[in-house]
Structure 1
Amino acid sequence: MNQQSLSAFIWSVSDLLRGDYKQSEYGRVILPFTVLRRLDCVLETTKPAVLAEYQAKQAQGITPDPFVLRVADQSFFNVSPLDMKKLMGDQDHISQNLYSYINAFSPAVRDVFERFEFHTQIERLAKSGLLYQVTERFTQVDLHPDQVSNHQMGLVFEELIRKFAELSNETAGEHFTPREVIRLMVNLIFIEDDDVLSKPGVVRTIYDPTAGTGGMLSIAGEYLEEHNPKARLTVFGQELNPESYAICKADMLIKGQDVSKIVFGNTLSEDGHPATTFDYMLSNPPFGVEWKKVEKEVRKEHETQGYNGRFGPGLPRVSDGSMLFLLHLIAKMRPVSEGGSRFGIVLNGSPLFTGGAESGESEIRRHVLENDLLEAIIGLPTDMFYNTGISTYVWIVSNRKPEHRKGSVQLIDASGMWQKMRKSLGAKRKELSDGHIAEITRLFGGFKEAEADGKPISRIFKNADFGYRTITVERPLMENGKPVLGSKGKAKAKGKKVADAKLRDTENVPLSEDVEVYFKREVLPHVPDAWIDHDKTKIGYEIPFNRHFYVIQPPRPLEAIDADLKQVVGRIQAMLEEIAG
């Protein structure tokens, strides 16, 4: 059964729920039942051996769990003699037996169903007379990994969540990222490490602070397994949404990962992996979502811990918390002495330029650039994500830049690299093909300026090219045609011209340019009586991405414009003559 047919079959359960459940509530039933059936199928082949081992160890008075785990050949087990098909044999006691079956799972799996609040749904389905029918429907589909791969299962979960989010008017894109975008990000963070990753027995860690259903962690694992089956990737994550967390945890259980490293909670207010650093990281934090709910905790960490905490460089405006995740990931980078780190994060356009000099956003950019952490920014096409059509950017950040990248930042404009999807999914109408991913990866790996169709698509800048000084330009307060001089206040102001606040202005001067030279060239010719108040000078950083790829289209020759106008005038005159006639 292909992924679309499987999604359609599972979705058909909603026909049973219609009337007793609102559309927005379908996911509360269908998602946990899908997870349960998947786990049920995974354990099917080892079930007899597990039960035998469990009974034998109990008879010997030995704690059976570690022995049962080994026999199950998974990172979880179930010691109930029941399975979902056997539940069908006792319709009158379906709810009690289902409770018993779920409680016989190992603790990590029981936590998954607690996050789903599955017991509440079992009770509700039983009262509605639907529990047997729904359970029976799920027994009709085989979700064993031999029939449905982990990759395919991940796509099914994402499809279901997207549908439920649309029905609930929720933001589907907060829970997962399009798979081809993840593949691109994984390519970019691993590209320079192929030699290291190909060594047998290599162990690396990867972390996603906004793990969703675990797509980023899964694809990173698939990449490494494909390139080096002997390498091992240990995954860490944190997720705020209970359903997404439950799916992520279940997926990692099936893949044999240590699910204690997948933590539930808000990453910004309660770091689930304190004092832990990682080799690689990936994140797609929610776009433009305010952080007011966690403002107290974040400000406290910023003010009391400074650079010893995660948010030392500064805080963005409360209306958009995405740059807090950028700072969080930087704080999680493995020290250079221990091999360093590289991460990819998806951000909207706002973090590139929002906020003037010395604002929280500017200070964060300053910290990233002055510490030479930014390797590249890739501008993606619009309409790439399920919940928004806006422009998005992948930042590649590393504290172990190769020598040829040091002191520089590469900007890649991939906004024209896309193909139309056969069927739109929410706001997502475009996708990256394998060829597009390969081309962007090649541009990043090549680290050279490049053009396509006469337009730049890869440009390289020095870090300082994004910095500027905001200077304050003052002009004198005039009385009776003469400048007013200071007579009191600060000693250094005495006898000096008093500035007229109404005429005060600011200018942004690139860091690469001498302020006085700029002032003489750009300001004094227009306002000869002006001066700079150096005490008010501020340093800022912004990355005007689109400006660096803008190609000026020269205007058409005047003769061509004039000829067009004559044609239009001629047509208007002809029409007027027809009306008059």
Structure 2
Amino acid sequence: MDHAMHNTIVSFIWGIADDVLRDVYVRGKYRDVILPMMVIRRLDAVLEPTKEAVLAMKKQLDAAGIANQHAALAQVSREAFYNASPFTLRDLKSRAKQQQLRADFEAYLDGFSQNVQEILDKFKFRNQIQTLVDADILGSLIEKFLDTKINLSPKPVLDDKGNEKLPALDNHAMGTIFEELIRRFNEENNEEAGEHFTPRDVVKLMADLIFLPVVDRIESGSFLVYDGACGTGGMLTVAEERLKELSQSHGKAVETHLFGQEVQPETYAISKADLLLKGEGEEAENLKYGSTLSSDAFPSHEFDFMLSNPPYGKSWKTDLERLGGKGDITDPRFVVQHGGDPEFKMITRSSDGQLMFLVNKLSKMKHATKLGSRIAEVHNGSSLFTGDAGQGESNIRRWIIENDWLEAIIALPENMFYNTGIATYVWILTNRKSEARKGKVQLIDATGWSVPLRKNLGKKNCEFSEEHIRQICELIVNPVQTEQSKIFANEAFGFWKITVDRPLRLATDLSPARLDLFEKVCKAAKEEPLPKLARRVAKLLGAGPHLDFNVVMDAVETDADKHGVKLTAKRKKLLQVELTVTDASASPVVKKVHKPGKTQPDPLHGLYPVEMDGKTRVVEYESDTSLRDTEQIPLLEEGGIEAFFKREVLPYTPDAWIDPDKILIGYEVSFTRHFYKPIPMRTLEEIKADIYALEQETDGLLEQIVGKVER
């Protein structure tokens, strides 16, 4: 279609809002009327040539008592939709009375097929009719969309002599106009735009990132493209157009099938309407309404290409509860077998579910095809580093990287999106890495590659030029090391998190004053036998302080057995809490003594050889939780955990050990660490020169302000 005609139609429809809706709707609500009316008018124009045939078929079906009429009516209309009411929009144009117009208009809407009804319901368009009638503008609105200055029909408008007056508007051109209006409305509503609208430059980049690296290997055939947070469908349609363009340039015949899911009703309606307006009625059936996380519409599907801009920093608590709660989720998308753990859980905190969308996509990868699957997804910075080792976010990164699916992450400039100025990143994943990429991850710093917009669109003040997109894609297609592109081994992002414990050292006080206080505590706790036991042990061992708690407890246990006092765990705890204090000079408290020959000494992991009763026994000490610490050790650490521990920990705390049961593996990605450029410090000579210059500038200034002092 002629570009000028495209702009004319867009401007005309854009102007309808100001001409008809002003003073009735606030500017941000124009879209609630204009978008569904444009859908209605286009469908009306498409159905005009077959209207009489549809009505005739409807009459026959009703007479025959056939209830399921959809297939027959759609066949007659030659579209995936139809309208079985006796009206067209042109019929309604002549209605003078508002109430009659309303009744007929509602009957007209009710005549549409179920797929169109769903769109109208999600638009909540029927809710607008009362307002339009009360303001006496429904008739004017219909007239505007029937204006002879524009043609929204797939057939050209001819003059009296049969010459083309207005060109036909094919499905692709109609879809383009509709998307342009969506873009304009989204830019008008900047505070909402980022939730469901990704800037076109970012979408083009993402489409190129999933197609260009494999374009030479794409064969003729069908490909499935999926977006689990499809919003208005822009990513899907751009991806479809780009794949068609690239395949044609390589002499391949490619058929694309689009699949998407969206939880916001209006944006779902827009995406489905967009496909209907483009003549892709069957594709529209592949768009599903509902939550991708808690109600996956495609549980058994696998896709060739996937791309999304999921919501980030947004709670998914409701979905989490629907899935059974964090501790009871069994959905195979989010609980897998990995790293020796049969229930490796990838459940992020409920306040941010963005990585859950990525896990959902990874569960839908094709593993049996030559190309496998490629994924592009936008995230904010928290997906790179939020979550400690063993937590959901870190487990997701570990699962991805250890499976060697992460190809690259691209850091985008700030202020690239409409409703946020924060840093954003595009993740590129595939299960078919090239040989050169296997075992590696590429990080690209594109934060400095952008051109300013002439006018800010919400928070968005810059965009990628075609050259910037080409540069980024070139680095992905031909990965090389540059200042903006760095390549790392997968293990460079992993670390062991170890728990470092030190022994509990207690000094026991059996002085009369301490025992008096102990007696009061025991009386309140109804543990009357304990004070007498403690006084007998004090008489045997003395007041103390005793620096070996183990000796005191041996005496306590002996006396308890002798006097028939049962030493429960509660009573032992009471003795320890009330009669001891931590003392660095005291002996470690023994937690467990292993049987001779059963366990080998291993001081690194808290198993110490100790002489007891003339024999060497292996003991474990109680850990002092107040001294407990953790360390992160890179997976690429030479010599591993043991070498790090001996070098960095034991020289400073020789009594420390590692709890082997608490060793965790975590993964995080830090762009700052890898791309940080420190500002060089100024030399002493430069600083001195600045000071001297300031002294000269201020020389005599104080005298001018306060006057000369008489001496």
Q: What is the RMSD of the two structures over their aligned residues, measured on CA atoms?
A: 2.8
Superposition pairs of residues 237-248 of structure 1, within 5 angstroms? 237-248=260-271
Task: Give a deviation string over 1:386-432, Cα, whole Å, max 9, x none.
Answer: 11011100111111222221111111111111111111111111111
Aligned partner of 2:257 in structure 1 is: 234
1:211 has 2:218 as partner: no
Contiguous gaps of at least 5 residues in structure 1: 451-455
Change (3 A) 1:299 1:367: farther
Indicate whether 1:512 and 2:636 are aligned.
Answer: yes
Structure 1 pair 418–72 and aligned structure 2 pair: CA distance change class (3 A): farther
Question: Which amino acid is the alignment partner of residue 539 of structure 1?
Answer: I
Deviation at 1:384, TM superposition (A): 0.7
Give a deviation string over 1:421-463, Cα, whole Å, max 9, x none.
111111111111111111111011111112xxxxx21111111
Counterpart in 1 of 2:181? Answer: 156
Compute the displacement of 1:489 (Å): 4.7
**3-state SS of 1:6 partner:** helix
Aligned 8 A contact 1:323 1:361 in 2:
yes
CA–CA distance in 2 between the matches of 1:100 and 1:438? 52
Question: What pairs up with 1:317-356 in 2 under 5 angstroms?
Answer: 317-336=349-368, 339-356=371-388
> Which among 113, 122, 125 is matched to residue 120 of structure 2?
113
User: What SS is found at the alignment partner of 2:630?
Assistant: strand
**1:567–1:476 Cα change, 3 Å:** farther
In the alignment, which residue of structure 2 is the partner of 1:177? 198
Q: Distance in 1 between matches of 2:333 and 2:126?
A: 43
Quote the offset at 1:499 in angstroms.
Answer: 3.6
* 1:35 counterpart residue number: 39
Asked if the contact 1:310–1:328 (Cα under 8 Å) also holds between the matched residues in 2, the reply is no
Stretch deviating more after TM superposition (480-489 or 274-283): 480-489
Any residues of structure 2 matched to 1:36-435 within 5 Å, and which? 36-41=40-45, 43=46, 47-52=48-53, 55=56, 66=71, 69=74, 72-80=77-85, 82-92=87-97, 93-140=100-147, 141-144=150-153, 146-147=168-169, 148-163=173-188, 165-166=189-190, 171-197=192-218, 199-200=219-220, 202-228=221-247, 230-255=253-278, 256-258=280-282, 259-299=284-324, 303=328, 305=330, 307=332, 313-336=345-368, 339-435=371-467
* Deviations, residues 195-214 of structure 1 (Å, cap 9, x unaligned): 343x44x1000111111111
Counterpart AA for 1:48: P
Cα deviation per residue 1:306-334 (whole Å; 9 max; x = unaligned)? 64656753211111110111111111112
| Stretch deviating more after TM superposition (338-347 or 285-294) | 338-347
1-side partners of 2:444 and 2:626: how far apart? 42
Which residues of 2 match residues 444-483 of structure 1 at below 5 A? 444-450=476-482, 456-478=483-505, 482-483=585-586
Alignment partners' CA distance in 2, 1:569 and 1:273: 74
Over 3 Å counting, the alpha-carbon distance change for 1:428 and 1:308 in structure 2 is: closer
The answer to whether the Cα contact below 8 Å between 1:7 and 1:156 also exists between their aligned partners in 2 is no
Establish whether residue 544 from structure 1 lines up as the match of residue 563 from structure 2. Answer: no
Partner residue of 2:545?
Answer: none
Q: Aligned ranges for residues 490-501 of structure 1 at < 5 Å? A: 491=594, 495-496=619-620, 498-501=622-625
* 8 Å CA contact retained: 1:374, 1:396: yes
Deviation at 1:252, TM superposition (A): 1.1
d(CA) in 2 for partners of 1:210, 1:490 = 57
Structure 2 length-normalised TM: 0.74
Aligned residue type for 2:298: H
Question: Match of 1:420, SS?
Answer: strand
CA distance in 1, matches of 2:389, 2:374: 27
SS of the aligned residue for 2:590 comes to: coil
Structure 2, unaligned stretches of length 5 or more?
A: 155-167, 337-343, 508-582, 595-606, 609-617
- The change in CA–CA distance for 1:2 and 1:490 in structure 2 (over 3 A counts) is farther
Task: State the shift of 1:79 in Å.
Answer: 4.6
Q: Distance in 2 between matches of 1:34 and 1:206?
A: 27
Task: Tell me by how many angstroms 1:299 deviates.
Answer: 4.1
Report the Cα distance in structure 2 between the residues aligned to 1:440 and 1:525, rounded to whole angstroms: 47
- State whether residues 347 and 393 of structure 1, in contact with CA within 8 Å, keep that contact through their aligned partners in structure 2: yes
Q: Would you say the 8 A contact 1:50–1:71 is kept in 2?
A: no
**In the aligned structure 1, how far is the partner of 2:247 from the partner of 2:92?**
42
Question: Is 1:10 matched up with 2:14?
Answer: yes
Count of aligned positions:
567
Residue of structure 2 equivalent to 1:453: none
Whole-Å Cα distance in 2 between the matches of residues 224 and 67 of structure 1?
34
**Contact 2:497/2:633 (<8 A) preserved:** yes
Q: Deviations over 1:52-108 (max 9, x none)?
A: 465268559898865664565543333556433332122323222322332333321
User: Are 1:487 and 2:590 matched, yes or no?
Assistant: yes
Per-residue CA deviation, residues 283-320 of structure 1 (Å, 9 max, x unaligned), is 11112001112121234597353646567532111111
Alignment partner of 1:565 out of 684, 688, 691: 691
Query: What letter matches 2:589 in structure 1?
Result: G
Structure 1 residues 575, 233: closer, same or farther in 2, change over 3 A?
Answer: same
Amino acid at match of 1:482: S
